[in-house]
Structures are given as C-alpha cells and as structure tokens.
Structure 1
Amino acid sequence: MTEVIDQIVEQDSLVYTHMTLKLGDGSVADSSRANGKPSVIEMGGDAISPAMESELLGLRAGESKSFTLSAEDAFGESDPNLIQFMDLHQFPSDIELKEGSVVAFEQPNGSSVPGIISEIQGHSVKVDFNHPLAGQRITFDVEILSVNTPPTTH
C-alpha cells in the first residue's frame, strides 16, 4: 500500500505555483497563467523575501491564497543610486530608444541587466536599473500546484 504524503510548503520546498501580481489600482502587472507556465519558488534561498516566505509556509498543494506585501517586502523600494544618466551616443544606432523601453545592458562579467529608459532629453538618456515593480505595494494571488520537498539525508 502506498502512503500519500501531504504536499505542504516547508522551509526547503520547491513550490510550483500559478501566481498573479496586481498593483495598488488592481491592474495585473504579471501572471504565470498568461503563458500557461507555472512559477517555481525555491523556499529558504534569497529568491523571495522572508515576508513572502512566511505567507507561503504551511500552504498545501491545491490551496490558493491572496496577500499584499509592502514595496520593501515585495520588490524593494526604488533606489535612486540605480538611476543613471547616459549619453545617447553610448547606445547602438540600431536600437530605437523611447521612454518605457527596456534595454539589456551587458555587464563586465558577460551577464546582462535590464534597464528601463525613463527619460530622453537631448543627448541625455535616463536609465532606471530598479526592478520595474520596485516601490510598489503588490497583491499576490497564489495557487499552489504542487510541492516538491527534497528528501532528507541521514
């Protein structure tokens, strides 16, 4: 006889969810349902805030929950040090720059980081490297699809 184990979100779980993120005005900022691909959350790491982890801990597969996090606990406050001004000539000529565009900037280590073009004045381009949802209170609508807790070693 096979024992059925409840799938409960714990500190070291991999959690498969459908998640919808809503802004303060109720508009949807992002949803895993839009592309039909679940989000995977690794509990106990640095991927999500402790406040979000505490909202998920103890939930079971099949359960849904809605909760709102402050900007600090969601995607962080907007950091003015992450807003930079660049000369228009630093951008490749084949890139169409317009306010609101997201541009990938290559880092010295070869990785890239997205920046949002927030203003263009003359030859000066204001680029915001904050997360697009930084500084926003976010409501999370989460449906736990499954929980995969790694086996414990003795």
Structure 2
Amino acid sequence: MSEIKSRSIKENSEVLMHFSIRLADGSAVDSTKVDNKPAKFVMGDGSLTPGFEECLVGLSEGQSETFTLAPESAFGLPNPDNIHHLELSKFSSDVPAEVGTIISFTQPDGSEIPGIIREVIADSVTVDFNHPLSGQTLTFEVDVLEVLN
C-alpha cells in the first residue's frame, strides 16, 4: 500500500488555516479560532504580506508553527505620508473625532480606507492611515488545516 502524503504549501497553493497574531507583549490581536472560522487564501494573491508567505512555504497539512516577524516583514513601518490633518468640521455627531477611534474614509475613487484618530487639537484632527499593526513586531501562530494543489 502506498502512503498518503500530506501536501505542502508552495507558490499558488490554496490554503485553509487557523492563525493567531500576538503583539510583543503577548497580547492577542486577532485569531480565527475565536469564531472557529479558518482563513482561506491563495499564496501570492496579495492577501498576506510576502514575509508572512515566506514563513508558510513548505509547511504541510496538519502542521502547526509559530514565528515572529519584524515590522518590515509583517505590516511595514509607519509612513509619515499616511498621517493627515483634517478639519474638525469634517466630522459629525454621527462620526465624532475621538482619539483611538477607527473611522472608514471614502477616497476620491470611491474605495474606503480605515483611519485611526490619533489627536484632536482645537479645530485640527490628526488621522493615521497606516495599517494599525505597522511598526509592530508580531508573533504568528498557524495551524495548517488543508493545502489544495
């Protein structure tokens, strides 16, 4: 009898996996296990950072792995060009400018981008459009459930 060989992740593989993300202090940021809804994606489709994908290549079905990524390999470093100052009058009672709030802003092309309110001083609101996890060293825990193709 031939042995059934589990498939390994390679370029263009379709992958079903659970993952958890932790900050350097160990606090959990995100986990697919909370709602028991594993993530499904195709390697190279842009849904994961290249540094994260590099860590997944070669992992097999049923394998669990933990790896830590520096900001450059995770969600990047904060870009000062992604911090904007808006007039307080652009906000309303429905969408107040409160520090720490994440608000979805509509771009000129109609797409939406999240921004974090960092500071409110007089009539000026500082909005950070960098990824909320940019600049963070992150630990990823992955459980590879299935590898297709």
Please say whether Structure 1 and Structure 2 have the same fold, judged by a TM-score greater than 0.5. Answer: yes
Q: Tell me which amino acid in the other structure corresponds to 1:23.
A: L
User: What residue in structure 1 maps to residue 40 of structure 2?
Assistant: 40
Taking the aligned partners of 2:5 and 2:37, their CA distance within structure 1 comes to 25
Q: Tell me which amino acid in the other structure corresponds to 1:18.
A: H
In the superposition, the TM-score normalised over structure 1's length comes to: 0.89
Taking the aligned partners of 1:42 and 1:123, their CA distance within structure 2 comes to 45
User: What residue in structure 1 maps to residue 144 of structure 2?
Assistant: 144
User: What residue in structure 1 maps to residue 131 of structure 2?
Assistant: 131
Taking the aligned partners of 1:135 and 1:41, their CA distance within structure 2 comes to 24
Q: Tell me which amino acid in the other structure corresponds to 2:99.
A: E
Q: CA deviation at 1:76?
A: 0.5
Q: CA deviation at 1:115?
A: 0.3
Q: CA deviation at 1:4?
A: 4.3
Aligned residues: 149
Q: CA deviation at 1:5?
A: 5.2
User: What residue in structure 2 maps to residue 11 of structure 1?
Assistant: 11
Task: Answer yes or no: is 1:59 the counterpart of 2:85.
Answer: no
User: What residue in structure 2 maps to residue 22 of structure 1?
Assistant: 22
Taking the aligned partners of 2:44 and 2:5, their CA distance within structure 1 comes to 21
Consecutive unaligned residues in structure 1, runs of 5 or more: 150-154
User: What residue in structure 1 maps to residue 110 of structure 2?
Assistant: 110
Matched residues, percent identical?
A: 42
Taking the aligned partners of 1:123 and 1:134, their CA distance within structure 2 comes to 27
Taking the aligned partners of 1:31 and 1:39, their CA distance within structure 2 comes to 10
Q: CA deviation at 1:122?
A: 1.3
Consecutive unaligned residues in structure 2, runs of 5 or more: none
Taking the aligned partners of 1:106 and 1:50, their CA distance within structure 2 comes to 27
Q: Tell me which amino acid in the other structure corresponds to 1:131.
A: H
Runs of 4+ deviating beyond 3 Å:
none
- Range with bigger deviation, 34-43 or 83-92: 34-43
